Structure 1
């Protein structure tokens, strides 16, 4: 008890010192809005502490501030100096991204800092491992993303969640003129979907009463604390708190215990189902069943895998859809074109109908250009290296590519990059007279990563999002219930601070 109290006092004193000392220079080093002018100032670096003052003052808008650096760098790369001579490299240069994610993939694994920061939450799941562990998990998981599984996902899991839960909830809100937090609703929707398709389990999180789900709430808070670890100015601070089990680290331990307990129960229930079903269970199996039936993994390892898939399937897709519906509400021209495409398809929206929604697909790509679900991604150099733009990288240096900034680079998207234009993703097919999708270089648009670690669930995510857009747009208009631009913030994924309150309006004749 005395040790815990002493640690708390020391941390409090250090925090107060930092706050008071940096408060006097906050105005010098904080940049209130993105800038690409000649007057822009890069953060000044000092001996020992590096650019600590600027980092601290911009901690509440870290993603946007780092984006400013990239947008104002001639090479779209800059070096941020930290404590004791350490530094990080941030880049939005497609050549550098390709170097990191493909041509020199083996030299840029998940680093120790990232693994340490996220290990309590993600463990040795697919998003937090390298080498053979990653290869085995990717190989087993890939079976769930074939054409047959994708069709099943759209025509059964997503369709049922839309028909029985999301659409009735929106219809009720429209009839009663109530305000919904669409961000929360979409998280519930995607949580139900990922649990159904990956684990054969329905948590029924999206129901009219919007019940509290202890697991989902514990998971979200654990993500927030883990993200704070990863972005900590002084990682030693969270490590000390973890060692003494105090403050946020004590809370994280409680949350992780709750999350892993839920996952463990899910595994034991699934094992019992598999044993009871015998050989009949091998026809239609989910991701969890594949891992259990392989017999190669212990329970703790499978728990890591479950948690990783929940994070990927829930947080990224709901983040993408949240920002998408806000952008559509600001751009009625685009909404009208999406509605035209939706009305041309059958109301049942079979797999092929969803797949052929070219303009809707383009609008989703355009939305994720401006608001990528994962705004930054971190690697760590395994050896000394030189990036294609000439930036020198020492062994152990964190190298971060920045999709959020890349979506705002005029050199990649033109001077009209602020405009929401799905047409930039389309090209006319002269033989048919119809628009076709024109994909961007994945290293200029690494929203789903690229190279060997490209997202396995990319096509599944698009199918799910397009089905949601079609079902919602056909019948409803989403109207933001506030008169301001939402406040952007990010933990591991992009979010709207305080949620996304909306009113639902029925379309005439729907």
Structure 2
């Protein structure tokens, strides 16, 4: 009752201000936002609460400097930028100034704890240093030739064969999440959850994980943090569900840690060949801390690559000429050993980069300003401001990609012309600088798993497209909705039919 007495008047106050100030509906695609005393841009934020990524992208696209400032409730302020000079400033030149900070740490702590994605300083450095040993060429080759290839041939392909034979509709997003989850658990923890089984069972962990991520991210976006803190204190509503979900997720991760500890104790000569073994033998074996690490790597390995592949297969269905080019490249690689086969798939690599330009797995990444600063474009930053770079918006900026930015064109990433200007069939990849294309972050926190992610995605593309066509099973004219929590999702999943390719 007390909570209702506190929250009800506060909610009525905000709603009253909203209706008084915004006498007529605000256009959702406005590239500017008005700010008022005390409530800031609350009316615009509320009007776009169901499309925050698209709305903030519109603001950035409509700004001459590709930077937008949004005043939030009670003087809180968010700065969002798609300006490459600003991105370099934030991620590299002034790296110590822009940290995860207390705001994000507190909001995401229940789920991520002190894991690498929620840590700063020595805690972050230690985790990064230990994890870096897992991404050398030897480990990458093992990952592709044993882990990914086994999961592909023994689980993913047989499931797609059955779906094609039965002419069923299946949620490809769910299948890819299961595939990626099995892979990250096997390579990082030496554990096989076998989530990609033929029956595709509804697992408690997956359900709890999705809910924990969703509620945690809603905390970050809330206008009044006091509301979720009160609900947490009284154990009601979404905070009650979050506590239950996080408990399930942490128990799953703790069980993995306990099993690995037992394995290491029983086999003292066991080679510390996986990430979890490295952490447990590094002198930091506190169970809660290692559990935080496990959860962070599940987030990284399960959700990012599966999100990228989901949108990639959607874009391929809309661009058959690109699919045909990829299929030709696959046919050329038929006799090549697995690792070299996927490593050298240049056109496929470019297609994945182009897909992630339009639909980045992490569309916005937020930082916290630890001191006053000025960005290269002149935007003033106050200590305590939320400062975010916006890969989703950056992929849509004409100043970076030209007037045809909305087109899906892998050729943006390729050079295939001879000196006399005649187009050659053999492509060479031409990358973009990481501050124009910060899909994998940049600077000291650049993604360690970038090469591993590309190898896994290319192996999936090769394995799937060599045998099948992926056909969206949606109502004609209806496009999937892009939503984001910690990572991007296709709202409601990606229903598809799988068709066997005709053999020549």
Normalised to the residue count of structure 2, the TM-score between the two structures is 0.96
Distance 1:425 1:276, change over 3 A: same
Please state if 1:78 is matched with 2:78: no
CA RMSD in angstroms comes to 1.7
CA displacement, residues 411-448 of structure 1 (integer Å, 9 cap, x when unaligned) = 00000000000000001374997311100011010000
Q: Which residue of 2 aligns with 1:500?
A: 494
Distance 1:206 1:490, change over 3 A: same
Q: Which residue of 2 aligns with 1:467?
A: 459
Q: Which residue of 2 aligns with 1:58?
A: 48
Moved more, 349-358 or 452-461: 349-358
SS at match of 2:68: strand
Which residue of 396, 399, 405 maps to 2:387?
399
After TM superposition, where is structure 1 displaced by more than 2 Å over at least 4 residues in a row?
8-30, 346-349, 428-434
1:381 Cα deviation (Å)? 1.1
> How far apart in 2 are the matches of 1:86 and 1:185?
40
SS at match of 1:399: strand
1:391-430 matches, within 5 Å, as 391-428=379-416, 430=418
Which residue of 223, 241, 250 maps to 1:251?
241
Contact 2:31 2:61 in 1 (8 A): no
Please state if 1:107 is matched with 2:101: no
1:84 Cα deviation (Å)? 2.1
1:27 Cα deviation (Å)? 5.6
Normalised to the residue count of structure 1, the TM-score between the two structures is 0.94
Which residue of 2, 7, 10 maps to 1:6?
2
SS at match of 1:312: helix
Q: Which residue of 2 aligns with 1:127?
A: 117
Contact 1:107 1:381 in 2 (8 A): yes
> How far apart in 2 are the matches of 1:242 and 1:192?
33
Contact 1:114 1:230 in 2 (8 A): yes
Contact 2:31 2:62 in 1 (8 A): no
1:128-207 matches, within 5 Å, as 128-207=118-197
> How far apart in 1 are the matches of 2:484 and 2:473?
22
Contact 2:327 2:466 in 1 (8 A): yes
1:12 Cα deviation (Å)? 4.6
CA displacement, residues 47-83 of structure 1 (integer Å, 9 cap, x when unaligned) = 1110000001100000000000000000000111112
Which residue of 442, 462, 478 maps to 1:450?
442
Please state if 1:28 is matched with 2:16: no
SS at match of 2:281: helix
Query: How many pairs are equivalent?
Result: 497
1:493 Cα deviation (Å)? 1.1
Please state if 1:303 is matched with 2:299: no
> How far apart in 2 are the matches of 1:267 and 1:498?
32
1:326-475 matches, within 5 Å, as 326-346=314-334, 350-428=338-416, 430=418, 434-475=426-467
Q: Which residue of 1 aligns with 2:59?
A: 69
Contact 1:44 1:51 in 2 (8 A): yes
CA displacement, residues 156-212 of structure 1 (integer Å, 9 cap, x when unaligned) = 110111111111111111111000001111111111111111101111101111112
Which residue of 80, 90, 93 maps to 1:90?
80
> How far apart in 2 are the matches of 1:306 and 1:138?
13
> How far apart in 2 are the matches of 1:347 and 1:255?
47
Moved more, 243-252 or 472-481: 243-252
> How far apart in 1 are the matches of 2:23 and 2:363?
25
> How far apart in 1 are the matches of 2:178 and 2:292?
21
> How far apart in 2 are the matches of 1:127 and 1:118?
10
Gaps in structure 1 of 5+ consecutive residues: 34-39
Contact 1:29 1:43 in 2 (8 A): no
SS at match of 2:268: helix
Moved more, 340-349 or 245-254: 340-349
SS at match of 2:434: coil
Q: Which residue of 2 aligns with 1:491?
A: 485
1:403 Cα deviation (Å)? 0.3
Distance 1:180 1:41, change over 3 A: closer
Contact 2:31 2:58 in 1 (8 A): no
Distance 1:304 1:165, change over 3 A: same
Q: Which residue of 2 aligns with 1:36?
A: none
